[in-house]
Amino acid sequence: MNERQRLLINRDQLDDVQWHSEALPSPADGQVLLAIDNFALTANNITYAAFGDALQYWEFFPAPVGSGIVPVWGFADVVASNCDGIEVGERFYGFYPLASHLLVEPAQVSDTSFTDNAEHRRSLPVIYNQYLRTSSDALYDADREAVQMLLRPLFTTSFLLDDFFADQAMFGARELHLTSASSKTAIGMAFCLQHNRANRDADYAIVGLTSARNKAFVESLDCYDRVVTYDEAATLGNQTPSAIVDFAGDGTLLRTLHEQLGDSLRYSCLVGASHWDQRAGAGPDMPGPDPVMFFAPHQAEKRISEWGGERFAQHLADQWQAFCEFAGGWMEIDASEGREAIAQTYQQVLAGNFSPRSGYVLSKFSCQ
């Protein structure tokens, strides 16, 4: 392929997309050109787009005015290098544009990773700017690349959410209500909350809220203490100190929960936007504490400063391995390739029209 292909998203209308082709850049001194081999598409990527302005996700991979490029997690191979310490043919896991290639300016090159030091990325969270060599990544398994692409970034958020709530003594809550309970990030948090509960002083119940269509699936996971459909949300009790972790992004649902939980609500946490187009439904003057957006890199940076990078990585790795075993029992990987498949899958995930068991892995931009 002698050109770079990018899927451009209309930032004001996320279902308006078009492919754009341009000349393939050549790396200058200190630069490296990566060819993106495969990547995952999940509801997490829709969250990146929905909060592209508020959380600076559009800034990672610049696009023409009015357009954005959705970030994805995946693997890429070095196809050209003018940087000491990085060789053609090496493979890296990391944060990529929904595009065929990425030009980077590596800094802090080590045996395990490098950081993209491109000027437009220097002020952005380092956790997104780091690229890991598969040859030395402790979590890498060549036979489980699809699982890593699909679940590693989501589970990292899940792990950090669980740690954040534990760090805050659950905000005094004894019931944690997780919306979009069938989403992989919510499942990961529920898994961590359950996995770690026995070693904590806090006693809490994990309540999953989901659609009637997905209730049986969520119950089958056995990581929620109770599963409630959205239609049943108004029947939740308000006698137990509670917290909301909102992965759905449905403003009307969020308001219903705030009103129903009333004075028992201790904390309201915004994470994802599975229903990205319904966030505004919450309206003004919602009762209870103001919802607070959770930004995973902040908790990661806090823990790395307190624990050190090695201890942080070990804690994450231990729970990641356990979660992978758990996920192997229910996740079904759906792999496809080519530009048409990529655009169609993006629209499908954007519309929320997929089974919670499905994990989409895409590759081969050159296939039509």
- What is the per-residue pLDDT for 54? 84
What does the block give as tokens for 137?
């990544």
Residues 99-134: tens digit of each pLDDT: 999 999 999 999 999 999 999 999 998 889 999 999
- What is the per-residue pLDDT for 274? 46
- What is the per-residue pLDDT for 336? 95
Residue whose C-alpha is closest to residue 264's, from 181, 176, 203, 186 = 176
- What is the per-residue pLDDT for 354? 87
Residues 278-324: tens digit of each pLDDT: 444 455 678 899 999 998 889 999 999 999 988 998 899 899 989 99
The single-letter DSSP state of residue 231 is G
- What is the per-residue pLDDT for 201? 83
- What is the per-residue pLDDT for 72? 97
Q: How far apart are the first and last CA of the chain?
A: 13
- What is the per-residue pLDDT for 254? 92
- What is the per-residue pLDDT for 50? 87
- What is the per-residue pLDDT for 280? 47
- Are 58 and 11 within 8 A, CB to CB? yes
Backbone angles phi, psi at 82, to 5 degrees: -120, 35
| Residues comprising the chain, all counted | 368
What does the block give as tokens for 105?
């300016």
CA distance 187 to 238: 24
Torsion sign, CA atoms 16, 19, 23, 29: positive
pTM for this model (two decimals): 0.83
Helices marked H in the chain — which ranges?
A: 43-50, 126-129, 145-167, 184-197, 215-221, 251-261, 296-307, 309-327, 339-350
- What is the per-residue pLDDT for 222? 97
CA distance 165 to 176: 10
Which residues have CB under 8 Å from 331's CB, separation 6+? Answer: 147, 150, 151, 184, 357, 358, 359
* Residue ranges of the chain whose pLDDT lies below 70: 1, 272-284, 367-368
Domains annotated for the chain, with CATH where assigned, are 3-137+333-363 (3.90.180.10), 154-297 (3.40.50.720)
CA distance 313 to 125: 17
CA distance 256 to 276: 17
Q: How are beta strands 13-23 and 3-10 bridged, if at all?
A: antiparallel
Residue whose C-alpha is closest to residue 147's, from 300, 332, 350 = 332
Assign 3-state DSSP to the chain and report helix, strand, coil percentages, each to 5: 40, 30, 35
- What is the per-residue pLDDT for 367? 57
- What is the per-residue pLDDT for 235? 83
